[in-house]
């Protein structure tokens, strides 16, 4: 199973007595994400709405947004087509989500299969990750990668621009997420908020302008 939540610690480890009478449900609610050890790659099928609303906002100045959230769809075409999806999140001090994808979700590409991969990422990759993507695509001609990004990361830096160009020449399609793409992620990768009916996606105020801003920048770079 590709999208498996990693083990979450039990309450006992958090210094709270494990109360046997407590219902399983209650226990699950108690385990907030903060209880996860730091710098762990978290994988799962859906991410909490609060993370999406903050991390995926396509703002120009992304202060405090120092994680990468990567939602992926992998279509594997062989005798049968298989599609899997999920998300990865990282803390920038450890492996970045892009690296984690290649290390954990797709550790090896079978040469007899074709892979169509789409990522929806909160921001574009750093230089190191961009280089890893370029190398992976050059090595695996049977891999197609489209990366939809909310924001461009450090796009003014010449080495960043060079790394993005290399990714493009290796066949990676890099796109800025449009409002419809954010809506797609909301519907397919975000947990419905607790105790509420499935809410429609509410675009933020400057979503369209920011998309256009980044799209222009990306066009200039590439």
Q: What is the 3 state secondary structure string of the chain?
A: CCCCCCCCCCHHHHCCCCCCCCCHHHHHHHCCHHHCCCCCCEEECCECHHHHHHHCCCCCCCCCCCCCEEEEEEEEECCCEEEEEEEEECCCCCCCHHHHHHHHHCCCCCCCCEEEEEEEEEECCCHHHHHHHHHHHHHCCCEEEEEEEEECCCCCCHHHHHHHHHHHHCCCEEEECCHHHHHHHHHHHECCCCCCCCCCCCCCCCHHHHHHHHHHHHHHHC
* Residue of 98, 156, 191, 193 marked active site: 98
98 catalytically annotated: yes
Rounded Cα gap, residues 157 and 148, in angstroms: 20
Active site positions, annotated: 98
């Amino acid at each position: 199973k590709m999208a498996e939540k990693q083990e979450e610690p039990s309450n006992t480890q958090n210094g709270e007595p494990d109360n046997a009478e407590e219902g399983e449900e209650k226990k699950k609610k108690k385990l907030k994400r903060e209880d996860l050890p730091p710098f762990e790659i978290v994988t799962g099928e859906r991410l909490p709405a609060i993370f999406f609303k903050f991390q995926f906002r396509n703002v120009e100045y992304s202060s405090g947004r120092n994680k990468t959230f990567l939602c992926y769809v992998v279509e594997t075409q062989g005798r049968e087509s298989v599609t899997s999806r999920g998300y990865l999140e990282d803390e920038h001090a450890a492996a970045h989500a892009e690296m984690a994808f290649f290390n954990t979700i797709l550790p090896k590409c079978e040469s007899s299969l074709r892979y169509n991969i789409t990522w929806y990422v909160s921001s574009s990759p750093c230089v190191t990750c961009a280089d890893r993507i370029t190398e992976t695509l050059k090595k695996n001609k049977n891999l197609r990668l489209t990366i939809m990004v909310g924001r461009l990361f450090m796009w003014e830096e010449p080495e960043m621009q060079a790394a993005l160009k290399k990714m493009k020449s290796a066949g990676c399609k890099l796109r800025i997420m449009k409002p419809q793409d954010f809506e797609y992620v909301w519907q397919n990768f975000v947990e419905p908020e607790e105790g509420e009916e499935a809410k429609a996606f509410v675009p933020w105020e400057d979503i369209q302008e920011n998309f256009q801003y980044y799209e222009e920048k990306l066009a200039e770079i590439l």
